[in-house]
Amino acid sequence: MSIAFVFPGQGAQTIGMGKALAERYPEARAVFDAVDEALGEKLSALIWEGDAEALTLTENAQPALMATSMAALAALQAEGIGLDRAAFVAGHSLGEYSALCAAGTFSLADTARLLRIRGRAMQAAVPVGEGAMAAVLGLEADAAEKVAAEAAQGDVCQLANENDPSQNVLSGSKAAIDRAVILAKEAGAKRALPLPVSAPFHCALMQPAADEMARALGEVEMKDPSVPLVANVLAESVTDAARIRDLLVEQVTGRVRWRTSVEWMAAQGVTEFWEIGAGKALSGMIRRIAKDSTCRAIGTPEDVAALKDA
């Protein structure tokens, strides 16, 4: 049996996430306290008792989801279940930062600050209303990419996320995405629908944010990860901190190759995927990609207890 620890991305956030972990485990509470201190504000209060719309803001959702993942990991470690159980770590978009924090590449404080910078930079890269994203269901990645190319017509339109065999996400200018929704349906997609996002992530329009992250990443200490990272833009493992720095910059405008990453891990013998943090979205995707694998979502004290007793 080989295990991968995987970390969720934006969209998994909910008010109250991680609160039960913090109440049950002092180690988990310490994670939220450290993130609050790093950011100079009580992000934990927003996560547990705040306004859902405010939590959904990219600059808040990204460090909040990372904090929740690290709190879940701390709870596991308190029960004697450590990262040494993992053959690989991986994360979906911002979850890649959580994976790297778990593997010791970044300190917790630096990860929180980087994700605050990343969230603000991604939001500021494109004026509100000028970009869009759309989910395409029922078309494989190659077909979705062809739709994007046809819809572009001089605008930006790219395949941004390969989530699973039947779910892909396009990103680009609003006009191009509007065209892509129509073209995807004509190409046989079961559904093609705009997503309620505030910016067109993982496409060329994010270049200003990539430039900002290159600057920010150049100012923090990075160590080689203790467990190999399966990088979003490579869909294979990497262990060199300098290479990871470059890949994190590329990731801002590049494709999140989640389906291919899971396929690659399964080909290396991974049979269990532990989703560390909020929600179960990755587990659903993984079950559609590696159908024979086992998925465990670990985001509550009950989840930790079930794993401990397994």
Note the pLDDT of residue 79.
96
- Which tokens hold the place of 278? 């909020």
8 A C-beta contact, residue 239 and residue 104:
no
Phi, psi of 228 (to 5 degrees): -55, 135
Domains of the chain: 3-125+205-306 (3.40.366.10), 131-198 (3.30.70.250)
Note the pLDDT of residue 72.
98
Is residue 196 predicted with pLDDT exceeding 90?
A: no
Closest C-alpha to 35, from 51, 53, 18? 18
Is 92 among the catalytic positions?
Answer: no
Q: How confident is the model at residue 248 (pLDDT cuts 50, 70, 90)?
A: very high
79-92 per-residue burial string, b: 16 or more CB within 10 A, e: under 16: eebebebbbbbbbb
Candidate list 44, 69, 92, 93, residue with the active-site label: 93
Candidate list 173, 202, 237, 261, residue with the active-site label: 202
Strands 270-276 and 294-298, bridge-based pairing? parallel
Tell me the C-alpha to C-alpha distance, in Å, between residue 158 and each of 126, 129, 161, 212: 15, 17, 9, 21
Is residue 310 predicted with pLDDT exceeding 80?
A: no
Is residue 1 predicted with pLDDT exceeding 80?
A: no
Is 93 among the catalytic positions?
Answer: yes
Per-residue pLDDT reduced to its tens digit, 11-47 = 899 999 999 999 999 999 999 999 999 999 999 999 9
Note the pLDDT of residue 283.
97
Per-residue pLDDT reduced to its tens digit, 258-290 = 999 999 999 999 999 999 999 999 999 999 999
d(CA 90, CA 93): 9
pTM to 2 decimal places: 0.96
